[in-house]
Amino acid sequence: MEQFGLHNPSNGLADIGLGNASRVNYNLSEVELYEEAIRRGEADLTIDGALRARTGQHTGRSPKDKFVVRDAGTEDKIWWDNNKPMSPEHFAVLKADMLAHASGKTLFVQDLIGGADEANALPTRVVTELAWHALFIRNLLIRPKRDTLEGFEQKLTIINLPSFKADPARHGCRSETVIACDLENGLVLIGGTSYAGENKKSVFTVLNYLLPAKGVMPMHCSANVGSEGDTAVFFGLSGTGKTTLSADPTRTLIGDDEHGWGENGVFNFEGGCYAKAIKLSAEAEPEIYAATRRFGTVLENVVLDDNRVPDFDDNSLTENTRSAYPLHFIPNASETGLAPHPKTIIMLTADAFGVMPPIARLSPEQAMYHFLSGYTAKVAGTEKGVTEPEATFSTCFGAPFMPRHPAEYGNLLKDLIAKHGVDCWLVNTGWTGGAYGTGRRMPIKATRALLAAALNGSLKDAEFRTDANFGFAVPVAVDGVETSILDPRSTWSDGQAYDNQAAKLVSMFIKSFEKFEDHVDSKVRDAAPGLKIAAE
């Protein structure tokens, strides 16, 4: 086996059973990975110098193909209602078959870190057969200093072989695609998909398992901080605006997707951004647009014209086009990935029913209720088979990545909010004037103006009304924002149709929360929307 690149000589791939690879490339630089990806026909160079790759059949995550090894260590820690079990025996066979499949192949290894807080960092080794995957994860995770690589010891190993096809009968999985997580032994096996997002979300899943036991709250969120140290956290599922809204030129970006909140404050899990690129424009998102059109960035499933110019409006491959770049490509990004305790929490939802206001103030109990509910819409393309938004409840704003019971995360969050006196707001980036298909998307200028008022504290001085359906406080008027948009019922041409739609959503909330009622106190249960309406 030929070995190239800087690495720990006593920590090679032979130690995990990959000694029969023909060549292993350790910790190659961006330039070297570009050369390999292009030479091997994996990717194309764009006119701007970015690297464009296509993922074929899988253009989004495959949550139905994700499994957790069920053993003595995980039996009582995992929320099995939401996580599919795999037996240790099936995992062992899968591992053996994947290691055999890698025999004779060229492999790419990146030794990286998940977590900017040293006390909670997860050294991670990613092994893949695709050079562009190595560049992707190099962009997304935190790069250790090169002079530490010769002593690198990982606590998590990810082996990703897209050309491997799983056998459901033999491996205890659902299809030829598999993401299998052995959380107790720090090993994730990925096969049958080239979608690069599986790499980063596997690291997230493992951190979400490990950190609560240390009293650290893992969060599917973006985060930024103002000049006064006023940190803001933005919860939300893919496509709800986490990346867009946290990229604010007046504030320092901590990160766009995954963070922890511990005794020292907030810390980024990652060292890069994975931004949605569909309809990306210099006018609406200048920082992200600039980061996307430069050397070092990986474009995933973005269509190129004959001159290799990216067409961000072309969704012929998928709605879920992506741009993966290191955090330092954003001019006002944090160099440390660390920030003080949050002053403000924003819970983002893309309301496909079009009945929620653009912003609402939440009490601590309402905040926990909406965190556990995790209402939003699955936005087109972020998961395989989703082609238009549909209403969904994804607890903790990230159910696919949360191995433990939601109440563990919810109680951690509630305690931290109370301890640090955090202001909480619900922000709807979805539809207004009607449901998806008849209404329009909430204007981003209005959302930004409302966020600015929430973050600078001026919104707390506004006049508020109590929403008849959801019980939270909604501002009546805000400078720079069209007043009618603050009252969603007034934006509908048919008020009765709005009332019917709102009642439908309220009933969905109540039904969705039933499974959590025994895990929360009465104050949180009483924060449910439309209790009076439901009682009538």
Model confidence band, residue 164 (pLDDT cutoffs 50, 70, 90): very high
The residue ranges of every structural domain in the chain are 2-41+65-193, 217-272+336-535, 273-329
Q: Is the pLDDT confidence value at 535 over 60?
A: no
Annotated active-site residue in 322, 341, 404, 405: 322
Query: 1 exposed, middle or buried (CB, 10 Å; 0-12, 13-18, 19+)?
Result: middle
Predicted confidence at residue 281, as pLDDT, reads 95
Catalytic (active site) residue 238: yes
Predicted confidence at residue 310, as pLDDT, reads 98
What average pLDDT score do residues 242-263 get? 91
β-pairing verdict for 23-26 and 2-4? parallel
480 vs 436: CA distance, rounded Å: 25
Same fold for the pair 2-41+65-193 and 273-329: no
Predicted confidence at residue 531, as pLDDT, reads 47
Model confidence band, residue 242 (pLDDT cutoffs 50, 70, 90): confident
Rounded mean pLDDT of the chain? 94
CATH of 273-329, one of 3.40.50.970, 3.40.50.20, 3.40.640.10, 2.170.8.10: 2.170.8.10
Catalytic (active site) residue 201: yes
Residue type, 146: R
Annotated active-site residue in 52, 54, 66, 201: 201
Catalytic (active site) residue 343: no
Three-state DSSP class for residue 99: helix
Instruction: Output b/e per residue, 369-395; b: 16+ Cβ within 10 A.
Output: bbbbbbbbbbbbbbbbebeebebbebb
411 vs 406: CA distance, rounded Å: 9
- Residues 105-152: tens digit of each pLDDT: 999 999 999 999 999 999 999 999 999 999 999 999 999 999 999 999
Percent of the chain with pLDDT over 90: 89
Predicted confidence at residue 536, as pLDDT, reads 38
Identify the DSSP state of 530.
T
Rg (CA), the chain: 23
CATH of domain 217-272+336-535: 3.90.228.20
Q: Is the pLDDT confidence value at 376 over 90?
A: no
Q: Is the pLDDT confidence value at 383 over 90?
A: no
Query: Which two tokens mark 412?
Result: 């951690």
Catalytic (active site) residue 404: no
Annotated ligand binding at 257? The verdict is yes
Task: Give pTM, 2 decimals.
Answer: 0.92
Model confidence band, residue 490 (pLDDT cutoffs 50, 70, 90): very high
Predicted confidence at residue 530, as pLDDT, reads 79
E-state strands within 238-389: 252-255, 258-262, 265-268, 272-276, 298-300, 303-304, 310-311, 322-326, 338-339, 342-349, 359-362, 375-378
Predicted confidence at residue 244, as pLDDT, reads 83
Annotated active-site residue in 59, 124, 238, 321: 238
| Fold for the domain defined by 2-41+65-193 | Phosphoenolpyruvate Carboxykinase; domain 1 (3.40.449)
Model confidence band, residue 389 (pLDDT cutoffs 50, 70, 90): low
Annotated active-site residue in 7, 54, 58, 61: 61
- Range among 42-56, 237-251, 397-411 rated most confident: 42-56
Q: Is the pLDDT confidence value at 532 over 60?
A: no
